[in-house]
Amino acid sequence: MKQALIIFARNPIRGKVKTRLAATMGEEKALSIYCTLLEHTVKITQQLFCDRYVFYADGISLNDHWLDNVYVKRNQADGDLGTRMHHAFDTLFQESYDQMIIIGTDCFELTEDILQHAFTALQNYETVIGPSADGGYYLLGMRQFYPFLFEEKTWSSDTVYSSTIEQLEMHQISYKQLPILNDIDTEEDWKQHLSKLNDN
């Protein structure tokens, strides 16, 4: 069984990451939060028993958060998010992977156990999806390539998850839904995250 995890990431450059956070909290704080998110994503992925790929949105970096001997580094394609995810899945399916999952770097609630559960789900379901509380998804996995899942979407909107589910059901493709988690995109998201930490 050949498995791959795709991680979509950006280089941690002030003014280039978490722009919605930066709009209300400032670029320095947004960069700091993004670096913390990167560190979390590294922590939950570096021990997984699968091949791990980091697809950079803004040029490959060596000797960064992503250890060069752990993560294979690639560039994202040009275009919107759908085009870029389409390219990443298509590229790796052509390299004979049996199961593939994609995530970003926005979710403190994502854990190594959830990622392992997602791969396990692909033994029984054709796809697996992790809905975000904002109407998007934090994870998408499949065991064969379904290009239409990356078409006819308003990306970064609250309809991405629901329209994806509609497509899966229309094509009679089985799917496993993971727990709903919160991404960190806005100051309100960050405050809710801190509040949960304090509650614990």
Write down the domain spans for the chain.
Answer: 3-195
Architecture (CATH level 2) of domain 3-195: Alpha-Beta Complex (3.90)
Chain segment 131-166, per-residue pLDDT in tens:
999 999 999 999 999 999 999 888 888 999 999 999
Do 143 and 120 contact (CB within 8 A), yes or no?
A: no
Check residues 121 and 63 and name the one with the higher pLDDT. 121
Can you give the C-alpha Rg of the chain in angstroms? 16
Question: pTM, whole model, 2 decimals?
Answer: 0.96
Residue 199's pLDDT is 77
Do 89 and 25 contact (CB within 8 A), yes or no?
A: no
Chain segment 107-117, per-residue pLDDT in tens:
999 999 999 99
Retrieve residue 16's tokens: 């280039």
Residue 153: CB atoms within 10 A of its CB come to: 18
d(CA 8, CA 27): 21
Chain segment 24-54, per-residue pLDDT in tens:
999 999 999 999 999 999 999 999 999 999 9
Retrieve residue 120's tokens: 């396990």
Chain segment 174-184, per-residue pLDDT in tens:
999 999 999 99
d(CA 53, CA 112): 16
Retrieve residue 128's tokens: 């697996």
Retrieve residue 97's tokens: 């992977």
Give the pairing of strands 51-56 and 3-9. parallel
Residue 200's pLDDT is 66
Percentage above 90 pLDDT, the chain: 90
Q: Which residues contact 192 (CB under 8 A, 6 or more apart)?
A: 182
Do 107 and 181 contact (CB within 8 A), yes or no?
A: yes
80 pLDDT more than 90: yes
d(CA 13, CA 56): 13
d(CA 107, CA 9): 12
d(CA 77, CA 92): 13
Residue 196's pLDDT band (boundaries 50, 70, 90)? confident
